[in-house]
């Protein structure tokens, strides 16, 4: 089959998704492509994606981005964990941290089985005692691995982040065109998008189009009618309100996710301000009540007008349709509970680069891209649902609905496996590791009925000594770390502004 070569790439939309895509494409494939990004300063972006996961570090390393420079430019702080408050029940708290539980060994069972055996014998303390990153987060301390390996991510200003990536992309060869898209032209036979026509009349032709137009999905949905798989029956929240406040205390190295009667609210500390928001199900909480609840809970001077964001959890039926690849909100949305939105953009664009269709777009390439996208997003979906479903809260109709709902079979099977035997797993290419599943499952209150009996082979005093040594080692390393805010000031302080 004769397929036209792909050389001209047009990114429709800016914001974080658009400039992540442009920066990655020009850095990795720049000399081989003609890359144009179309955006309008008049069209706002959601711009509240202030929390990331550790994959952002790998992305920056791949693009050769200096960590201190990007953190300074985005007024970023470090992130070691998420503090989940009131999720199991009101007044309860646990951390989901980025680190490992315990220490890897040659044993054929994960660390938590040995910890469970210790608990069965009357010692062992809390599982949290054996995660370095969790203890550092709890003590509000940080170092970026100068003295000991540590797994971390960032809190950053998403608008400044897009601006920073633009300053890297344009000198490298990305052509930015200012303007609103008025029309999308398609080939009459294939249905492929051929050009974007701006309000000015300018035509931007391309071979491959990257849709970063947000929830509206101008190319992937409005033009190609791809379709959407709705997940609101599992993830009932559909609205968020975001607001920024002046910082009133030193930044901590974790995000706070504080559950309320109809959802949760976030608190994300940057260097000179705090990102706040409330996520809720509009069927259970009115907009006015949610706004009042958010503003009544925030600390510090309010710096911005509260912004209302409507969304629908789910995914496009195809992330890649014809010659359009959707990224970010255009491809779908899982609420920001585990800070995966920016990750999905980065992993998708890297997947596109790895299989870039220079010789022409083929069904096999598209099918493989879409299959990988579905697999990844559904596994993350299950992880998010877990937080809502595994709860002991009965104080509102919202939480009773979450507790009693029928969940995906894939999640039900995971939960049953852990409940029966303490077994947790990370499938190939899955984002969240065994450590994450265990921390959330146990943090939400699931105690396994059994654990791997291999742990019984370790003599009691040897097991006790190993756990005591590990706990002491972690406590000693954490005690030597500087306060998080102190480290940030020294390493990447942005100054006032």
- What's the mean pLDDT in 311-337? 96
pLDDT, mean of residues 157-163: 95
**Domain holding 19: CATH number?**
3.50.50.60
The stretch 455-473 carries a mean pLDDT of 96
Q: Report the pLDDT averaged over residues 460-474.
A: 97
Token digits for 217? 């999905």
CA distance 334 to 340: 8
Confidence of residue 45 (pLDDT cuts 50, 70, 90): low
Condensed to tens digits (0 to 9), the pLDDT of residues 209-233 reads: 999 999 999 999 999 999 999 999 9
Mean pLDDT of 130-138: 97
Q: What is the structure's pLDDT at 2?
A: 63
The DSSP bridge pattern shows strands 314-316 and 307-310 to be: unpaired
Q: Is residue 425 part of a domain?
A: no
Report if residue 410 sits inside a domain: no
Integer Cα distance of 205 and 175 in angstroms: 13
**pLDDT, tens digit, 9 for 90 and up, residues 82-126:** 999 999 999 999 999 999 999 776 568 899 999 999 999 999 999
Tell whether residue 342 is among the known ligand binding residues: yes
> In the structure, what pLDDT confidence band is assigned to residue 4 with cuts at 50, 70 and 90?
confident
Distance CA 37, CA 170 (A): 10
Which residue range is the domain that position 24 belongs to?
8-77+156-231+313-378
Residue with the larger pLDDT of the pair 1 and 318:
318
High-pLDDT (> 70) share of the chain, %: 97
Q: Does any domain span residue 289?
A: no
User: Is residue 16 part of an annotated ligand binding site?
Assistant: yes
Q: Please indicate, yes or no, if residue 279 is contained in any of the structural domains.
A: no
The answer to whether residue 479 scores a pLDDT higher than 80 is: yes
Q: DSSP of 375-392, one letter per residue?
A: HHHHHHHHHHHHHHHS--
pLDDT level of residue 394 (50, 70, 90 thresholds): very high
Residue 208 among known ligand-binding residues: no
Instruction: Count structural domains, the chain.
Output: 1
Domain membership flag for residue 221: yes
State the pLDDT at residue 495: 73
In a domain, 396, yes or no: no
Q: Is residue 390 part of a domain?
A: no
DSSP state letter for 277: E
**Residue 46 pLDDT:** 53
Known binding residue 15? Answer is yes
Give the integer Cα–Cα distance in Å for 290 and 355.
44
Token pair, residue 431, equals 């984002």
- For the cut 60, the answer to whether the pLDDT of residue 471 exceeds it is yes
Q: Count CB neighbours of 252 within 10 A.
A: 26
Catalytic pick among 79, 267, 322, 346: 79
Predicted confidence at residue 44, as pLDDT, reads: 57
User: Is 45 annotated among the ligand-binding residues?
Assistant: no
Give Cα separations from 211 to 181, 214, 229, 485 (angstroms).
Answer: 12, 8, 18, 38
Give yes or no for residue 272 having a pLDDT over 80.
Answer: yes
What does the DSSP assignment read for 145-210? SSSS----EEE--HHHHHHHHHHHHHHHTPEEEE--EEEEEE-TTT--EEEEEETTS-EEE-SEEE
In a domain, residue 475? The reply is: no
For residues 286-308, average pLDDT: 97
Question: What is the model's pLDDT at position 42?
Answer: 74
Whether 79 is catalytic: yes
> Is 338 one of the annotated binding-site residues?
yes
Q: What mean pLDDT comes out for the span 410-420?
A: 98
Mean pLDDT across 46-64: 86
Assign 3 a pLDDT band (cuts: 50, 70, 90). Answer: confident
Spatial distance between the Cα atoms of 289 and 431, rounded to a whole number of angstroms? 35
């Amino acid at each position: 089959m004769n397929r036209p070569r792909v050389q001209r790439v047009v990114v429709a939309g800016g914001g974080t998704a658009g400039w992540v895509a442009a920066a990655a494409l020009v850095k990795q494939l720049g000399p081989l492509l003609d890359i144009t990004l179309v955006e309008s300063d008049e069209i706002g972006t959601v711009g509240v994606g202030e929390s990331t996961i550790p994959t952002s570090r790998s992305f920056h390393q791949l693009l050769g981005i200096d960590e201190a420079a990007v953190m300074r430019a985005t007024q970023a702080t470090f992130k070691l964990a998420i503090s989940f408050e009131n999720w199991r029940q009101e007044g309860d708290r646990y951390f989901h941290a980025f680190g490992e539980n315990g220490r890897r060994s040659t044993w054929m069972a994960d660390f938590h089985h040995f910890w469970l055996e210790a608990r069965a014998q009357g010692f062992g303390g809390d599982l949290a005692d054996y995660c370095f990153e969790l203890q550092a987060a709890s003590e509000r301390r940080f170092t970026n691995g100068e003295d000991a390996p540590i797994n971390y991510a960032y809190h950053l200003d998403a608008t400044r982040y897009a601006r920073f990536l633009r300053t890297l992309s344009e000198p490298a060869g990305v052509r930015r065109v200012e303007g609103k898209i008025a029309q999308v032209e398609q080939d009459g036979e294939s249905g492929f998008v051929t050009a974007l026509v701006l309000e000015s009349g300018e035509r931007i032709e391309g071979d491959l189009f990257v849709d970063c137009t947000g929830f509206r999905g101008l190319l992937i949905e409005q033009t190609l009618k791809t379709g959407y798989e709705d997940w609101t029956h599992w993830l009932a929240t559909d609205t968020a309100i975001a607001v920024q406040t002046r910082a009133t205390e030193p930044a901590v190295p974790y995000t706070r996710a504080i559950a309320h009667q109809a959802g949760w609210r976030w608190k994300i500390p940057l260097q000179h301000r705090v990102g706040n928001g409330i996520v809720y199900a509009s069927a259970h909480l009115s907009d006015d009540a949610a706004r009042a609840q958010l503003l009544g809970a925030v600390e510090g001077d309010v710096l911005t007008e509260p912004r209302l964001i409507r969304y629908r959890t789910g995914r496009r039926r195809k992330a890649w349709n014809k010659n359009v690849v959707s990224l970010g909100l255009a491809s779908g949305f899982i609420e920001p509970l585990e800070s995966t939105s920016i990750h999905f953009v980065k992993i998708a664009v890297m997947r596109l680069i790895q299989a870039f269709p220079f010789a022409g777009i083929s069904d096999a390439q598209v099918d493989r891209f879409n299959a990988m996208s579905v697999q990844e997003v559904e596994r993350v979906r299950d992880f998010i649902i877990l937080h809502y479903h595994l709860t002991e809260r009965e104080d509102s109709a919202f939480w009773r609905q979450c507790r009693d709902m029928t969940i995906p079979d894939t999640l039900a099977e995971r939960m049953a496996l852990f409940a029966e035997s303490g077994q947790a797993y990370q499938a190939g290419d899955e984002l969240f590791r065994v450590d994450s599943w265990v921390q959330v499952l146990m943090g939400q209150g699931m105690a396994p009925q059994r654990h791997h009996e291999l742990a019984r082979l370790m003599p009691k005093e040897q097991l006790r000594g190993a756990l005591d040594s590990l706990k002491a080692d972690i406590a000693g390393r954490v005690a030597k770390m500087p306060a998080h805010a102190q480290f940030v000031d020294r390493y990447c302080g942005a100054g006032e502004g």
